[in-house]
């Protein structure tokens, strides 16, 4: 079993939809959880950063961490075509980060 599992997609949704992206992990020692957005041929951009369990909201983005289930989620509300990108989950005990494979998202206008 890989340390971090993430469905690679692709995921295609209409503009305005709520998007749910998820990752599962096996290492119970992970305590830092991140979501990155990566546009083609660009470096990953940090979207959300969460320490331990709980929810965090930033604009249209909500990150959830359920350590008991070893499951993290990123929700995107009112999705826009500009949200089309690859979304990478990442987590760590300290450093370095362990990444999921990334989910390719397309938001269709």
Partner 1 sequence: GAVVSQHPSRVICKSGTSVKIECRSLDFQATTMFWYRQFPKQSLMLMATSNEGSKATYEQGVEKDKFLINHASLTLSTLTVTSAHPEDSSFYICSAPKSPGEAFFGQGTRLTVV
Binding site for partner 1 (CB under 8 A): 31-34, 36, 41-46, 49, 51, 88, 90-92, 94-97, 99-102, 104
Paired tokens of 8: 């690679």
State the minimum distance, in angstroms, from the CB of residue 47 to partner 1: 10
In this structure, what DSSP letter does residue 69 have? Answer: T
State the minimum distance, in angstroms, from the CB of residue 16 to partner 1: 27
State the minimum distance, in angstroms, from the CB of residue 35 to partner 1: 12
| Residue 57: C-alpha distances to residues 13, 20, 76 (Å) | 21, 14, 10
**Residue whose tokens read 């331990």:** 52
């Amino acid at each position: 079993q890989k340390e971090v599992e993430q469905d690679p997609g692709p995921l295609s949704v209409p503009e305005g939809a709520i998007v749910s992206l998820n990752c599962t992990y096996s290492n119970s020692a992970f305590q830092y959880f991140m979501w990155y957005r990566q546009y083609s041929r660009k470096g990953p951009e940090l979207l959300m950063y969460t320490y331990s369990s709980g929810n965090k909201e930033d604009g249209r983005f909500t990150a959830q961490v359920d350590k008991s289930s070893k499951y993290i989620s990123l929700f995107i509300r009112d999705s826009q075509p500009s949200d089309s990108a690859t979304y990478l989950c990442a987590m760590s005990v300290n450093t370095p980060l362990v990444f999921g494979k990334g989910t390719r998202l397309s938001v269709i206008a």
